[in-house]
Amino acid sequence: MSDRGDHQVSEQIAAVKLTAITKRFGSVVAVDNVDLEIADGEFFALLGPSGCGKTTTLRMVAGLEFPTEGSLKIFGDEAGTLPPNKRPVNTVFQDYALFPHMTVEANVAFGLKMQRVAKQEIAGRVQEAISLVRLEGLEQRRSQQLSGGQRQRVALARALVNRPKVLLLDEPLGALDLKLRQEMQGELKALQREVGITFVFVTHDQEEALTMADRIGVMNEGELLQVGTPAEIYEHPVNRFVANFIGQTNLLDASVVSNDTVCLANGVHIPGKSDLPVGTRVAVCLRPERAGMHPPEEVPADQQSVVGRLESVTYLGNALVYTVVLGWARLEVRRENQPGGYRPHVGEEVAVSWTLDAISVVRA
Amino acid sequence: MSSTVQPRGTTKIALTAHSWLVYLFFFAPIFVLIVFSFSDDRNVGRWGGFTLEWYQDFVEHSQLQNAVWVSVRVALLSTVISVVLGTLAALALERFKFRGRKVFDALLYLPIIIPDVTMAVMMLLFFAEFFDILESVFGWDAQKGLGSITISHIAFNISFVSVVVRARLAGMSEVLEEAALDLYATRWKTFRYVTFPQIVPGVAGGALLALTLSLDDVVITQFAAGPGATTLPVFVFGLIRRGVTPLINATSVLMLAASVILVALSLAFQQFSGRGGRPSLRAARQAVSAPSTTNTQIKEGINQ
């Protein structure tokens, strides 16, 4: 259960530390009392649906918005009210925001020029940054003459050339098509390892967050709901929203009977660990790939099950997704497409089963 | 070859004829004006053979020459000042939220909307009052002339400049300015290196528009001009009252040429320079990046 992020945070100064940060726009609360520590060298993802406050949070770290309340520290220094040009952070903007009237080279050199770095040093560092993102030969192009992927690299080089202490990325892959996006996921990760800078990126794509980030912070409606490694968040979501937002899941309505028993909505008591008070409305979270399926009379003795009627089968090639209707709920079961095995037909009675460690009990 | 929406038969003939009539209506007077500016006969409208006499007259007419220089000075001065003020107003309205912004916005449009005569009378009264105050407070007996004309031209030009610059600013993403700030630029450097280069076409277009409006204006200038100085259009207007000679034709042709050149430059500036670079490049970029742009826009829509 221990994650490396927490260890680092406790040992050294956090790269970014938000304490009780709130941002209001008029009467709208965009970010609500958020506490967050991001460790030095970490690849951190802020994940959430549109309008959840993740971009506002990132913009506060960048200095493009000032927090209404709370404290924001960057490597121990209070930065909440510093203007963006006084912060040791740089941003890769969602649409890259390359300066259209400048060449690639001039775009990359801009930050150094503004900091009055010596001309010779600028030339060297710009070349270095351009080769870091593999854009050699395109120095004299303008952004209009570049593809989406190339623009993204320019934006990365333009930020990294300043050797920021924290690099902020706002939906860095959002404008790219699927194939390029997957390619860039790996590249960004490799780049982060190479430069060793703390990356904080904002995304609404849970898959992107899971594959790239060391730790993820899930936000919704301005609140930071859960922070943890991808595995923690996927396997032990704190509530229904997180369970639903990260990956596919089945949620069965239930209530807490004791600290190791819950009562499903159909009245059946099943084992289910939780530390919530008796009577709390909860949901039993069962991932489709963790559910088993058997003929009703052949459920293994060590497994819990519910019986329903098979409504449909979706053929995915490498897997099959079975939809089972229980009357009071509907479950999806995902089975790898392997030869042999149990292949029920639509309309048959089937038992959906699980072992105790396959489920988690989350707040409804 | 022809598409189904192309008009055919009688419709086509009628539409073609109509187009030609419109052009005739537009350009026949100009054609007549130009032709008779070369006519060797004192009576306008009677052809007396080809001559350049009237153009020579124009060059030698000292009062006309004087009026030309007043016009040029007023135009240049009012343009420079109104471009600075108009651009600042545009920046304030597009980039900042402040109390009274809506009112300021509406007031800024006023000189474009209200009739010239109203504006002219306003100017007349304003200068009368203003000069009274100058005299009673500072003992300075100010007269209407170059200064009052310039001020009145600035008053209407600010509006036109700010409208043109705002259009340009509205098309420029604020994110560029945020990016500059993020890259350690101060506010001033952000303006100098990012905002201004982006709005240059708008500023230049606005300047040429202001120049043209200033050179062309008769009504307001007439009320703001004094015995000391008068502009070319106002002077020509006065000449007409004393009888029309082809000298007026020649003067008008030259004014027309100047205006056409300025308007053409203004359009060219707005059309071709600036963010898109060369038009062929811009087209190429749009073709290449169309899908990703759309994606981004959709995403922005969702995200906000």
**What domains lie within chain B, and their CATH numbers?**
14-51 (no CATH), 62-273 (1.10.3720.10)
Min distance B95 CA to chain A CA atoms (Å): 14
Q: What is the rounded distance in angstroms from the CA atom of residue B79 to the CA atom of residue B262?
A: 13
Tokens 């690099």 locate to A167
Residue A194 vs residues A150, A189, B175, B222: alpha-carbon distances, Å:
19, 9, 28, 72
pLDDT at position A173, please?
87
pLDDT at position A213, please?
94
Tokens describing residue A85: 């040009």
Closest residue on chain B to A143 (Cα)? B285
Q: Which of B197, B291, B303 sits opposite A50 (nearest CB)?
A: B303
Average pLDDT of span A175-196: 88
Asked if B292 lies within 8 A of A83 by C-beta distance, the reply is: no
Looking at mean pLDDT, say which of A31-40, A183-192, B284-293 comes out highest: A31-40
Looking at mean pLDDT, say which of A216-220, A257-261, B171-175 comes out highest: A216-220
pLDDT at position B300, please?
37
Q: What is the rounded distance in angstroms from the CA atom of residue A18 to the CA atom of residue A102?
A: 36
- Options 3.40.50.300, 3.40.50.12780, 1.10.10.10, 2.40.30.170; which CATH number does A4-235 get? 3.40.50.300
DSSP state of A356: G
pTM of the model: 0.77
Give the domain ranges of chain A.
4-235, 248-363
pLDDT at position B32, please?
87
Q: What is the rounded distance in angstroms from the CA atom of residue A104 to the CA atom of residue A225?
A: 40
pLDDT at position B270, please?
66
- Among the residue ranges A4-18, A194-208, B33-47, the one predicted with the least confidence is A4-18
B186 interfacial to chain A (CB closer than 8 Å) = yes
Asked if A115 lies within 8 A of B277 by C-beta distance, the reply is: no
pLDDT at position B289, please?
38
Min distance B273 CA to chain A CA atoms (Å): 10
Amino acid (1-letter code) at residue A30: A
Q: In terms of pLDDT, which residue wins out, A339 or B189?
A: B189
Torsion A171-A174-A178-A179 (CA) sign: negative
Q: What is the mean pLDDT of chain A?
A: 91
Q: How confident is the model at residue A162 (pLDDT cuts 50, 70, 90)?
A: very high
Q: Which of B179, B185, B299 sits opposite A97 (nearest CB)?
A: B179
Partners of residue B182 in chain A, C-beta under 8 Å: 62-64, 84-85, 89-91
- Spell A324-357 as b/e; 16+ CB within 10 A means b: bebeebebbbbbeeeeeeeebeeeeebbbbbeee
Partners of residue B300 in chain A, C-beta under 8 Å: 94-95
Min distance B171 CA to chain A CA atoms (Å): 13
Tokens 């709005």 locate to B199
pLDDT at position B60, please?
87
Min distance B293 CA to chain A CA atoms (Å): 7
> How far from each other are the two terminal CA atoms of chain B, in whole angstroms?
46
Asked if A110 lies within 8 A of B193 by C-beta distance, the reply is: yes
Q: In terms of pLDDT, which residue wins out, A8 or B57?
A: B57
Partners of residue A202 in chain B, C-beta under 8 Å: none
Contacts of A287 (CB under 8 A, 6+ apart): A247, A248, A249, A250, A358
Class of domain A248-363: mainly beta
Closest residue on chain B to A163 (Cα)? B183
Q: What is the DSSP string of A248-316?
A: --EEEEEEEEETTEEEETTS-EEE----SPTT-EEEEEE-GGG-EEE-GGG--TT-EEEEEEEEEEEE-
Q: What is the rounded distance in angstroms from the CA atom of residue A55 to the CA atom of residue A49?
A: 10
Q: What is the rounded distance in angstroms from the CA atom of residue B57 to the CA atom of residue B248?
A: 10
Partners of residue B295 in chain A, C-beta under 8 Å: 174-175, 177
**Has residue A7 got a pLDDT over 50?**
no
Asked if A99 lies within 8 A of B180 by C-beta distance, the reply is: yes
Mean pLDDT, consecutive 10-residue segments, chain B of 304 residues? 72 92 91 87 80 86 87 94 95 88 88 90 90 85 84 93 91 91 94 92 89 89 83 86 82 86 78 48 38 36 36
**Has residue A217 got a pLDDT over 70?**
yes
Min distance A249 CA to chain B CA atoms (Å): 24
Sheet bearing A261-264, strands edge to edge: A269-271, A261-264, A250-258, A281-286, A359-363
